[in-house]
Amino acid sequence: MTDLTLGRAAGPSLKQRRQRAAFWFLAPMLIALFCVAAWPLLRTIWFSMTDASLSGLYDAEWTGFDNYLSVRTLSSGRVVYRGTLVDPDWWNAVWNTVRFALISVGFETAFGLVVALVMNAEFKGRGLVRAAILIPWAIPTIVSAKMWGWMLNDQFGIINDILMGIGLIDQKIAWTASVDTAMTAVLIVDIWKTTPFMALLILAGLQMVPRDIYEAARLDGVHPVKVFFRITLPLIKPALMVAVIFRMLDALRIFDLVYVLTPNSAATKTMSVISRENMIDFDKFAYGAAQSTLLFAIIAVFVSLYIWLGRVDLSGESQR
Instruction: Give the per-residue contact string, 53-72, with other proteins (x = CB under 8 A; - = no).
Output: ----x---------------
Distances (CA, A) of 283 to 253, 289, 290: 21, 11, 13
Candidates 82, 89, 137, 235; binder of other proteins (CB under 8 A) is 137
- Taking CB under 8 A as the criterion, the residue among 77, 122, 220, 311 binding other proteins is 122
> 283, 169 in Cβ contact below 8 A?
no
67 neighbors 278 (Cβ within 8 angstroms): no
Q: Spell out a b/e string for 71-96, using b for 16 or more CB atoms within 10 Å of the CB, else e.
A: eeeeeeeeeeeebbeebeebeebbeb
Binding other proteins (rule: CB under 8 A), the pick from 85, 246, 267, 306 is: 246
Which position among 39, 65, 81, 91 is part of the footprint of other proteins (CB under 8 A)?
A: 39
Instruction: Considering only the stretches 74-82, 100-108, 130-138, 173-181, report the one whose residues sit in contact with other proteins under the rule CB under 8 A.
Output: 130-138
From residue 65, alpha-carbon distances to 45, 209, 295 in Å are: 11, 51, 16
Do residues 69 and 81 make contact, with C-beta atoms less than 8 angstroms apart? yes
How far is the C-alpha of 99 from the C-alpha of 187, rounded, in Å?
10
SS3 assignment, position 82 = strand
Comparing CB distances to other proteins, the nearer of 24 and 309 is 24
Question: In the set 19, 102, 110, 216, which binds other proteins (CB under 8 A)?
Answer: 19
Among 105, 133, 173, 182, interactor with other proteins by CB under 8 A:
133
3-state secondary structure of 253: coil
Q: Examine residue 260 and tell whether it contacts other proteins (CB under 8 A).
A: yes
Residues 178-237 that bind other proteins (CB under 8 A): 192, 196-197, 200-201, 203-205, 208
Of 34-42, 67-75, 82-90, 100-108, the window that binds other proteins (rule: CB under 8 A) is: 34-42
Q: Which stretch binds other proteins (CB under 8 A): 76-84, 98-106, 112-120, 170-178?
A: 112-120
